[in-house]
Amino acid sequence: MKNVRQKIAIAFSVLAIVTLTACERPPVESKQTGYRGTGMDQIDNPRTQEQLAKINEMPAGVPASPDGPKAGAVYKNVKVLNNLSTAQFGAFMVSMTSWVAPKEGCAYCHNVQNFADDSLYTKTVARRMIQMNQQINSNWADHVKQTGVTCYTCHRGNNIPQNVWFNPEEKRGGNMLGNANGQNDPASAVAYTALPNKPFADYLVEKGGPARIVGKTALPTGNKATLQSTENVYGMMTHMSHSLGVNCTFCHNSQNFSSWEQSTPQRAQAWYGIQMLKDINTNFMTPLKDVFPPNRLGPTGDVAKANCATCHQGVNKPLLGQSMLKDYPYLAPNRDMPKDSTHSAAK
For the segment 314-336, the average pLDDT, to the nearest whole number, is 89
For the segment 150-167, the average pLDDT, to the nearest whole number, is 95
Q: What residues pair up with 70 in beta bridges, in sequence order?
A: 85
Predicted pLDDT of residue 173: 59
b vs e for 299-317, b when ≥16 Cβ sit within 10 Å of the residue's Cβ?
Answer: eeebbbbbbbbbbbbbbbe
Provide φ and ψ at 29, rounded to 5°: -110, 135
Task: Report pLDDT digits (tens) over 215-225.
Answer: 767 776 667 77
Task: Report pLDDT digits (tens) over 96-153.
Answer: 999 999 999 999 999 999 999 999 999 999 999 999 999 999 999 999 999 999 999 9
Strands 41-44 and 29-32: antiparallel
Question: Confidence class of residue 213 from pLDDT cuts 50, 70 and 90?
Answer: confident
Predicted pLDDT of residue 148: 95
Q: How crowded is the C-beta side of 291, counted as CA atoms within 13 Å?
A: 22
Pick out the residues of the known binding site.
93, 106, 109-110, 129, 143, 151, 154-155, 237, 248, 251-252, 308, 311-312
Burial class, 222, CB count within 10 angstroms (exposed 0-12 / middle 13-18 / buried 19+): exposed
Its CATH class, for the domain covering 163-312, is mainly alpha
Question: Confidence class of residue 344 from pLDDT cuts 50, 70 and 90?
Answer: very low
CB 346 within 8 A of CB 127: yes
Provide φ and ψ at 196, rounded to 5°: -50, 125
- For the question of whether the overall pTM of this predicted structure is more than 0.75, the answer is yes
Domain with CATH 1.10.468.10 in the chain: 44-160+324-347, 163-312
Pick out the residues of the known binding site for heme.
93, 106, 109-110, 129, 143, 151, 154-155, 237, 248, 251-252, 308, 311-312
Predicted pLDDT of residue 254: 82
For the segment 225-233, the average pLDDT, to the nearest whole number, is 84
Angle subtended at Cα 275 by Cα 239 and Cα 269, rounded to the nearest 5 degrees: 70
CB 197 within 8 A of CB 182: yes
Angle subtended at Cα 141 by Cα 135 and Cα 144, rounded to the nearest 5 degrees: 95
Predicted pLDDT of residue 5: 64
- The average confidence (pLDDT) of the chain is 85
CATH architecture of 44-160+324-347: Orthogonal Bundle (1.10)
